[in-house]
Amino acid sequence: MSKAFVREQDHDEDDEALPAGQRIPAGGKNYITPQGYARLQQELKWLLDEERPRVVETVAWAASNGDRSENGDYLYGKKRLREIDRRIRFLTKRLQIAEVVDPSVHHGKDQVFFGATVTYAREDGSEETVTILGIDEADSAQGQVSWISPVAQALLRAREGDEVRLRTPTGVQTLEIVRVQYPVPGA
């Protein structure tokens, strides 16, 4: 068979659809908190046990109605099944390579590691607080940043009172670390 008709992958196409900030660096680890890991597992279980069977049932019913070419329920259901299957593959891969890290082991320390909630001051005196989490669990609207984000990379390994340099499109900023906090163990 000609190689022109064989689909070969040297990379993960599911990751290519993600924004750059959500892709795991080549050879990198997928650090995640125990809570983030549990959420991904819960979503995967829901897709497999509830959502996918419900959509399969709808597609089967729509297919039994005859002409599939103009059957909206059938066409939409097949499209939704592809989306669900893509998400299942993605979650399965992410969970397989996940490295669960419990940030509470650093409770009481003043150095910034994965899972830290860091308050830092900008040069203009304004303060911002961010929590450094995994790629699949960070939500900027909640003040959470991915451990691979530029601000997290600037903060990691620094201590309270340290000044770090953050490269931005507008230039280099100096950030002073005001406070480092970790969750209480067992909470």
Mean pLDDT, the chain, rounded, equals 88
Give pLDDT, residue 8.
Answer: 43
Per-residue pLDDT for 3 more than 60?
no
Per-residue pLDDT for 19 more than 90?
no
Give pLDDT, residue 20.
Answer: 57
Q: What is the pLDDT of residues 107-126, one digit of tens each?
A: 999 999 999 999 999 999 99
Q: Could you tell me the pLDDT band of residue 21, with boundaries at 50, 70 and 90?
A: low
- What is 92-161 written as a DSSP string? HHHHHHEEE--GGGGTT--B--TT-EEEEE-TTS-EEEEEEE-TTT--GGGTEEETTSHHHHHHTT-BTT
Give pLDDT, residue 142.
Answer: 95
Q: Which two tokens stand for residue 127?
A: 């303060």
User: Looking at domain 28-100, does it have CATH number 1.10.287.180?
Assistant: yes
Q: Could you tell me the pLDDT band of residue 1, with boundaries at 50, 70 and 90?
A: very low
Q: What is the pLDDT of residues 61-107, one digit of tens each?
A: 888 887 777 788 889 999 999 999 999 999 999 999 999 999 999 99
Average pLDDT over residues 37-51: 97
Q: Which residue has the higher pLDDT, 14 or 163?
A: 163
Domain boundaries, the chain: 28-100, 106-181
**164 in Cβ contact with 177 (< 8 Å):** yes
Determine the 3-state secondary structure of 3 from DSSP.
helix
- DSSP assignment letter at 25: P
Q: Give the relative orientation of helices 72-97 and 34-46 as an angle to the nearest 10 degrees.
A: 150
- DSSP assignment letter at 183: P
Q: Which two tokens stand for residue 129?
A: 């607080």
Handedness of CA 102, 20, 27, 42 (dihedral sign): positive
Q: Could you tell me the pLDDT band of residue 7, with boundaries at 50, 70 and 90?
A: very low
pTM over 0.75: yes
Domain 106-181: CATH class, spelled out:
alpha beta
**51 in Cβ contact with 77 (< 8 Å):** no
